[in-house]
Amino acid sequence: MPKVFALGATRGLGEAVSAALGQPLAPLEERGFEDGEHKARPMVSVRGVDAYVIQSLHGGPDESPNDKLARLLFFIAALKTNGAARVTAVVPYLAYARKDRQTKPRDPLTARYVAQLIEAVHTDRVLTLEVHNPVAFQNAFRCEAVALDCRGVLLERAAALAGEGAVTVASPDPGGVKRAQLFREALETRIGRSVGFALMEKRRSAGVVSGSLLAGDVQGARVLVVDDMIASGGTMVRAAQAVRAAGARDAWALAAHGLFTQGAQAAIADQAVAGWIVTDTVPPFRLRGDPVADRIETISAAPLFADAIRRLNGNLPIIDLPAAGS
């Protein structure tokens, strides 16, 4: 069996993954020092083992994405220094994945730089969930890069929402069309009937979002707006308002990662969205104590990651669904 470690910032999700695997997390020590430095080390021998390290790279509540990335890199390097045969970085939420191309003169390609840092400590494989752009993700890494997609977590809930009436899957922007199309196809297979498709126009310049065109027939349908992440929630609200104005019965927001950054409270409270559904790759710490948190449903991604680890360790195909970029 492989050894599975979870660093402190992602301990809760790590314990859920280990429970789904049916084996305890491998013990490790993490220490912080007065000047802000830190160290982490495995408390068991890792010589010759296949090791998995779980660390989600979201910001907060106590550590920035940069802090979490540094801790992940140092721990992977420690495993390699102490003889681990193979190390997989299990990164439920991969920071900086959105910055995968130059949109302004002299822009950085931060997604590639993060990949280079992860590879620099001799990481053998990266496993994550629902990256912003699967093609850019795969091209950024030279080690094995595996991106699970949100169908593996959200499909059953979507099938329940579909019920017996008309249902449509919508992308809230052109960049998410492939993701929404694949989700639609999987949902059609799951419920055994036709599912509609819609697309919302979106343009962003200098932080200002515009675009109001909606393509697709949503009249009388329950619309499932599918995206990789929810930050402020404004994109989901815009899409929900558009489909409701076009005659949709209601609109639900589904995404892998719920960041719920500044301003998200107002978006979540907006009644244009009937409900918000995310996974637990990012804990909802920014909404603790806020009544709007009751409108968010969280589905655990732990069984999906546990199954991926089990299959990778047995050299089996990751999932039965087609790859996210196919």
Tell me the helix, strand and coil percentages in the chain, rounded to 5: 35, 25, 40
Cα distances (angstroms) measured from residue 35 to each of 59, 134, 292: 21, 38, 38
Q: CA–CA separation, 2 vs 131, rounded Å?
A: 25
Q: Which of 254, 258, 114, 235 is nearest to 179 (CA)?
A: 254
Cα distances (angstroms) measured from residue 155 to each of 6, 178, 221, 249: 27, 16, 18, 20
Q: Which of 97, 9, 92 is nearest to 52 (CA)?
A: 92
Residues marked as catalytic: 202
28 DSSP β-pair partners: 42
Q: CA–CA separation, 227 vs 98, rounded Å?
A: 13
Token pair, residue 9, equals 């910032």
Sign (positive or negative) of CA dihedral 297, 10, 311, 25? negative
| CA R_g for the chain | 20
Residue 151 neighbours by CB distance under 10 Å: 24
168 DSSP β-pair partners: 196, 223
